[in-house]
Structure 1
């Protein structure tokens, strides 16, 4: 049997597609449940939730939104830099650094919000707020570490998988930002 030229060979399925989509949908469902719980409780405590939102900094959260959008851009650039390994590594590292920047800003934001967290006048807002944003923050920190590890020795399948999850976590923030901070 003659060898098939690489340009005509069938793409190799490395088996990650199913796992990737299971992970994506599990993240979306998990955060969807958390968002639904937040909305339901806010219906029972509208005055408390409205007062609590005034304690949050939309300016800081808006800045962090820009940071995450920039990180999604560098993540996308990493996927497309497949022919230039060094450039791909730079984009992956930039995405991770932006992720760690998000974490640092969020921790500073938490420090400013902690005094209001124990105030009963805000009902259950801060418990849910810290649960939802903390869970998201853990995802960002963990994925930033994963991106750094992948940047060390990138394989395109790993780059695609990690950046896809990165985009999902960013998308979750884009839903979370108006839900928690606005309105």
Structure 2
């Protein structure tokens, strides 16, 4: 027997990422996405400070009620995702899949509400080139919408096997999508 065969398997170590739920590479992606959203939000805040009247007019055109509904939908989907992770940790594959299904369904509701909101804004004459407010608004919310769609795909993929590590990896991404929206909502819709 070789000396290597006697040694216990070594897990790959990532230092600061050790101990986080799910796969460490997902956390690398999450951190890079947080930087991207942070830069976009920072650009939004700085541009608002330079153009307060333009931003006040743009913000007044938004439907904060639909955005509030979407906030509740996404937070609820995050709760469902957390339940899926707990179920997967307890080896309850069926339960984990059902909770993931609810999280994905709520993600689809978020997308439908956001597209409805976009339709109203476009009908009112708002577009990417209307003002700096709407340029940044559509970039931020569109980028986030793509992440919701990607999150639904990730949850569907990890739901196939519903292993604890897979579900934790997928739900970690989903929770970051929730967190980003929770920060974006007041910045875009409420703070003037």
Alpha-carbon shift at residue 48 of structure 1 (Å): 0.7
* Aligned residue in 2 for 1:6: none
**Is 1:99–1:140's contact at 8 Å kept on the other side of the alignment?**
yes
Whole-angstrom distance in 2 between the partners of 1:94 and 1:11: 37
**Is 2:87–2:96's contact at 8 Å kept on the other side of the alignment?**
yes
> Paired residue for 2:121, among 113, 130, 133?
113
Return structure 1 stretches of 4+ with deviation > 2 angstroms: 10-18
**Distance change in 2, residues 1:78/1:14 (3 Å):** farther
* Aligned residue in 2 for 1:60: 66
Q: Does 1:96 align with 2:104?
A: yes
**Distance change in 2, residues 1:146/1:118 (3 Å):** closer
**Is 1:45–1:123's contact at 8 Å kept on the other side of the alignment?**
no
Secondary structure at the aligned position of 1:116 is classed as coil
Alpha-carbon shift at residue 157 of structure 1 (Å): 1.3
Structure 1 regions of 5+ residues with no counterpart? 1-9
TM-score normalised by length of structure 1: 0.88
TM-score normalised by length of structure 2: 0.84
**Is 2:127–2:135's contact at 8 Å kept on the other side of the alignment?**
no
Alpha-carbon shift at residue 84 of structure 1 (Å): 1.1
* Aligned residue in 1 for 2:150: 142
Alpha-carbon shift at residue 153 of structure 1 (Å): 2.1
**Is 2:82–2:171's contact at 8 Å kept on the other side of the alignment?**
yes
Secondary structure at the aligned position of 1:117 is classed as coil
Alpha-carbon shift at residue 158 of structure 1 (Å): 1.3
1:2-151 equivalent positions in 2, closer than 5 A: 13=11, 17-82=23-88, 83-114=91-122, 115-118=124-127, 123-151=131-159
Whole-angstrom distance in 2 between the partners of 1:180 and 1:80: 33
Structure 2 regions of 5+ residues with no counterpart? 1-7, 14-21
* RMSD value, Cα: 2.1
**Is 2:93–2:163's contact at 8 Å kept on the other side of the alignment?**
no
Alpha-carbon shift at residue 36 of structure 1 (Å): 0.6
Give CA deviations for 1:32-83 in whole Å, capped at 9, x if unaligned.
0000110111111100101110100110000000000100000000010022
